Amino acid sequence: MTSSKLTLFTKVPTGPKGANKTLRDNYGKQNPTHPDLLQLHASMFNKWNNTFDKWGMRMLPNDEERRIYLEVKNLETNLIEDFRCWYDYDVIENVISKKMNILAFVSADSRTNERGLEELRFTDCKIFYGSTLERFLKLMNDGKIQFDIRIGSYKTPGKNYGKVHDHGSGFRIARGNMVDLFEGYIEI
């Protein structure tokens, strides 16, 4: 397994309502092809990152409140912003139990045939089982779960132009850490 990241799941924050719009509007930057629109693309772990040399962002689990908070601080003043959005533990646990209870990870070699079509040859399949919220949070606290914000704006002229477009903000993990997220796996 390589160190490239896999998306475990994408999810809109539990709260507050309109969190993606607030994140984009307050902490985003101009879209290079549409300067009248804002976008926010950032990756973070449980330690402060550097977003646009202006903001620090991190994901911070809070067991007492049973939430994972996305916190933002101003890098110039080192003050944490009043705005925080969050994911309720119950929401994350529901995703893990329903969408990640059993996960198949399939590897394949790819080539282009003489007609220009891609062909795949499957080389490996692992069926992972037994993921839990506790395992997820431990990996997050260990800095092994990454959160990517990918929020932009609709660019097509019309009624949606400029509205928030979440391009799949979500939780990611390095392939090599998959074994720690699950109780075990079966190799096929």
Span 20-60, pLDDT tens digits: 999 999 999 999 999 999 999 999 999 999 999 999 999 99
8-state DSSP, 12: -
Question: Which residues touch 1 (CB under 8 Å, ≥6 apart)?
Answer: 175, 176, 178
Mean pLDDT over 140-165 rounds to: 95
On the question of pLDDT at 145 being above 80, the answer is yes
Determine the pLDDT at residue 1: 43
List the domain boundaries for the chain: 5-187
Determine the pLDDT at residue 4: 82
On the question of pLDDT at 3 being above 90, the answer is no
Q: How big is the chain, counted in residues?
A: 188
* Cα 31 from chain centre: 20
Q: Which of 113, 112, 101, 121 is nearest to 182 (CA)?
A: 101
**Beta strand residue intervals within the chain, DSSP E:** 5-10, 29-30, 38-44, 55-62, 67-74, 80-88, 102-112, 118-129, 145-153, 164-166, 170-174, 184-187
On the question of pLDDT at 92 being above 90, the answer is yes
The third-level CATH classification (topology) of the domain covering 5-187 is Alpha-Beta Plaits (3.30.70)
Under the banding of pLDDT at 50, 70 and 90, the label for residue 168 is: confident
Whole-structure pTM over 0.85, yes or no?
Answer: yes
